[in-house]
């Protein structure tokens, strides 16, 4: 598309998770003339797709990184879980862990130079934190944009958790959440959106969905929201961040109305090797924000990635027996 050109030299990857789910991925080499600095894996949020991150891919390639991007199961160009392809569905977030394992084994190990770094947004951030807690140490450092640790402004959060659990228990896990539908959230008008204050980038995503509706997704299922609540609640156990030894930079958005920034800040304060910054006025999708805000994101990224490998190895040695 003219307003969203594909970065040159990309290669499509067909990835198969251990449970047989087929995922769509892509990889790129650094921009011509740039010395290689390792590989960054883009882990998107719920309902996102590879093409939405083409600009980010270009930014990373220009910094000298190999780049891998992929679609989580059930969204983008990866296999959908249910007969209705508009339903965002998993039974457990552990399924997303199988996706990441497959990316490491089938794309990173055979094709991508180390060091490897993770760059995750929203749901992708929750997944990488889940894996880091379980000892998944493929990434030397991780940058999380507005990780999904709690939902902003939920009324009656305890009741909603009980409702999701109850509906799932009586066999309604594959139904849309109450009030949900097949409607694509990326087709809403710019005015009043909660994702970005940049109209051009917002309309770019809208145009992609208009031309490639098969990449879009509607509301989540009951099972997905039940799994999300369980994962978020599990991550908020005070002991969880203390057991994560991967260096993590968390970038929160000051005007986020999707995830709860105070919850994220409390989590970050308990990380052994964590850094936390808030970008004022930024809405949920900082990588899709206007240039003045994106520049702050990239300044923080550049100060953290790639970092010094010797310091990382020393830190892991000192803390390995305390995990």
> In the chain, what are the domain boundaries?
11-322
Quick one: pLDDT at residue 226? 99
Quick one: pLDDT at residue 3? 87
Q: Which two three-digit tokens encode residue 144?
A: 């999380």
Q: Where are the beta strands (DSSP E) in the chain?
A: 11-16, 22-28, 39-43, 66-70, 116-121, 141-145, 248-253, 274-279
Distance CA 316, CA 181 (A): 46
Whether the ω angle into residue 115 lies within 30 degrees of 0, i.e. cis, is: yes
Distance CA 205, CA 215 (A): 11
Quick one: pLDDT at residue 268? 97
> Is 178 in contact with 267 (CB distance < 8 Å)?
no
Residue 116, C-beta contacts closer than 8 angstroms, at least 6 positions apart: 38, 39, 40, 41, 108, 138, 139, 140
> Is 84 in contact with 174 (CB distance < 8 Å)?
no
Quick one: pLDDT at residue 323? 53
Distance CA 134, CA 69 (A): 22
H or E stretch including 265? helix 261-269
Show pLDDT as tens, one digit a residue, over the chain (323 residues). Answer: 778 999 999 999 999 999 999 999 999 999 999 999 999 999 999 999 999 999 999 999 999 999 999 999 999 999 999 999 999 999 999 999 999 999 999 999 999 999 999 999 999 999 999 999 998 889 999 999 999 999 999 999 999 999 999 999 999 999 999 999 998 867 789 999 999 999 999 999 999 999 999 999 999 999 999 999 999 999 999 999 999 999 999 999 999 999 999 999 999 999 999 999 999 999 999 999 999 999 999 999 999 999 776 665 665 566 555 55
Whether the ω angle into residue 306 lies within 30 degrees of 0, i.e. cis, is: yes
Q: What is this structure's pTM?
A: 0.94
The DSSP 8-state label assigned to residue 151 in this structure reads B
Residue 78, C-beta contacts closer than 8 angstroms, at least 6 positions apart: 21, 22, 23, 24, 70, 71, 72
Helices (H), 91-246: 94-103, 109-111, 123-133, 157-169, 199-211, 222-235, 239-242
Q: Which CATH number is associated with domain 11-322? A: 3.40.50.1820
Q: Which two three-digit tokens encode residue 285?
A: 């999708």
Distance CA 257, CA 103 (A): 31
Pairing of strands 66-70, 22-28: antiparallel
Cα 235 to Cα 14, 88, 230, 231, 238: the distances in Å are 31, 21, 9, 6, 8
Quick one: pLDDT at residue 316? 58
Among residues 90, 72, 68, which one has the least CA distance to residue 22? 72
């Amino acid at each position: 598309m003219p307003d969203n050109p594909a970065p040159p030299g990309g290669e499509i990857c067909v990835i198969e998770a251990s449970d047989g789910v087929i995922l769509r991925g892509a990889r790129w080499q650094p921009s011509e003339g740039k010395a290689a600095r390792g590989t960054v894996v883009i882990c998107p949020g719920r309902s996102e797709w590879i093409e939405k991150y083409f600009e980010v891919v270009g930014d990373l390639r220009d910094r000298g990184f190999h780049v891998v991007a992929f679609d989580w199961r059930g969204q983008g160009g990866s296999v959908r879980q249910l007969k209705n392809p508009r339903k965002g569905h998993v039974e457990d977030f552990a399924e997303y862990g199988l996706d990441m394992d497959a990316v490491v084994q089938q794309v990173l190990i055979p094709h991508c130079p180390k060091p490897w770094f993770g760059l995750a947004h929203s749901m992708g951030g929750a997944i990488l934190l889940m894996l880091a807690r379980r000892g998944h140490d493929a990434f030397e450092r991780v940058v999380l944009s507005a990780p999904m640790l709690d939902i902003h402004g939920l009324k009656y959060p305890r009741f909603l958790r009980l409702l999701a659990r109850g509906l799932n228990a009586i066999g309604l896990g594959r139904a849309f959440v109450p009030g949900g539908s097949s409607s694509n959230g990326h087709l809403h008008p710019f005015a009043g959106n909660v994702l970005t204050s940049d109209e051009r980038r917002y309309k770019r995503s809208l145009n992609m969905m208009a031309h490639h509706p098969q990449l879009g997704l509607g509301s989540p299922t009951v099972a997905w929201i039940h799994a999300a609540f369980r994962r978020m609640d599990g991550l908020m156990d005070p002991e969880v961040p203390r057991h994560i030894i991967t260096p993590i930079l968390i970038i929160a958005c000051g005007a986020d109305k999707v995830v709860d920034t105070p919850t994220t800040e409390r989590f970050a304060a308990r990380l052994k090797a964590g850094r936390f910054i808030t970008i004022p006025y930024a809405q949920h999708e900082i990588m899709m924000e206007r240039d003045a805000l994106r520049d702050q994101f990239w300044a923080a990224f550049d100060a953290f990635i790639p970092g010094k490998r010797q310091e990382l190895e020393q830190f892991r040695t000192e803390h390995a027996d305390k995990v």
